[in-house]
Amino acid sequence: MSLRIGIAGIAGRMGRLLAEEVAAAGATLAGGTLRPGGAGQGVPGPVLPDAASLFAASDVVIDFTHASAAAAHASAAARAGKPLVLGTSGLSAEDEAAVVAAAEKVPVVYAANFAPGVNLVLAIAERMAAALPAAQYDAEIVEMHHRQKVDAPSGTALALGRAVARGRGTTLEAAGRESGRDGHCGARRTGTIGFAALRGGQVVGEHTLLFAAASEHIALTHRSFDRRVYATGAVRAALWLQGRSPGLYDMRHVLGMA
């Protein structure tokens, strides 16, 4: 029997791509849920009434919906004893705590980005940061997304910032974030990590990490041209979760990089 994969928010743009990738992977689409008040016309699978029903019908659930639903879906996964693949960004500290609590009972893959290329960029960013001293090389992260994106900086941009901080033996919170510069905001502080978020059009996702020194600049860029790359990665993560022990995993584990 093939793996039964459920999709939270199956009628959405990502939900439909996920359904296609489930079929392409030879897995079974167990069904999906709709956002409150959402219409189910043309949905590519059975529509289930709530998260509890979705987890009951599935071997693993993929959630790319909204930060406001992440904690509830993590709790539903823990109650049902079913694995979860979580790709929603913009989670609060409380939401992330709920995900961590669920991972004590079930395996969870939680990632800022499911594109293999992005995860390779994160690994490279950490190594670059370790080699380029913060006192000489300012780290700036520039990201651009479609005009509908509601959170900024993006989850991937924050993941890049955390990778830079790890490479420098600190945390993003301890290093300090600089963003939203406007007016006479003073000189840039040494060692901080800068963020700039651009929104417009229908850009799927562009991220550039810039290390800027007095004598040289080094840029590391990733561009996504099709959201399908996220769906393909998420389904790969769902298949990888089969037989895993409870714990909090990310795409580095799925890709064999951790």
- Examine the domain organization and report whether 102 and 169 are in the same domain: no
- Examine the domain organization and report whether 107 and 232 are in the same domain: yes
Tokens of 201: 């059009």
The confidence score (pLDDT) of residue 232 equals 97
- pTM for the model stands at 0.86
pLDDT digits (tens, 9 = 90+) for 22-71: 999 999 999 999 977 666 667 888 899 999 999 999 999 999 999 999 99
- Examine the domain organization and report whether 108 and 185 are in the same domain: no
pLDDT digits (tens, 9 = 90+) for 117-138: 999 999 999 999 999 999 999 9
- Examine the domain organization and report whether 208 and 242 are in the same domain: no
- Examine the domain organization and report whether 40 and 99 are in the same domain: yes
The CATH number linked to 211 is: 3.30.360.10
Q: How many domains does the chain have?
A: 2
pLDDT digits (tens, 9 = 90+) for 144-190: 999 999 889 999 999 999 999 999 999 999 999 999 888 998 999 99
Please, how many CA atoms are within 13 Å of residue 172, restricted to the half-sphere of its CB? 18
Mean pLDDT of the chain: 94
Q: Does residue 235 surpass a pLDDT of 90?
A: yes
The confidence score (pLDDT) of residue 16 equals 93
Q: Count the neighbouring beta carbons within 10 Å of the beta carbon of residue 44.
A: 18
Range of the domain at 145: 116-224
In this structure, the dihedral spanned by the alpha carbons of residues 28, 31, 35 and 41, taken in order and rounded to 10 degrees, is 110
The confidence score (pLDDT) of residue 35 equals 79
Q: Cα–Cα distance between 35 and 139 in angstroms, integer?
A: 38
- Examine the domain organization and report whether 109 and 140 are in the same domain: no
- Examine the domain organization and report whether 72 and 20 are in the same domain: yes
- Examine the domain organization and report whether 15 and 57 are in the same domain: yes
- Examine the domain organization and report whether 21 and 106 are in the same domain: yes
The CATH number linked to 28 is: 3.40.50.720
Catalytically annotated residues: 145, 149
- Examine the domain organization and report whether 107 and 69 are in the same domain: yes
* 248 Cβ neighbours under 8 A, 6+ residues apart: 99, 100, 103, 108, 110
The confidence score (pLDDT) of residue 169 equals 98
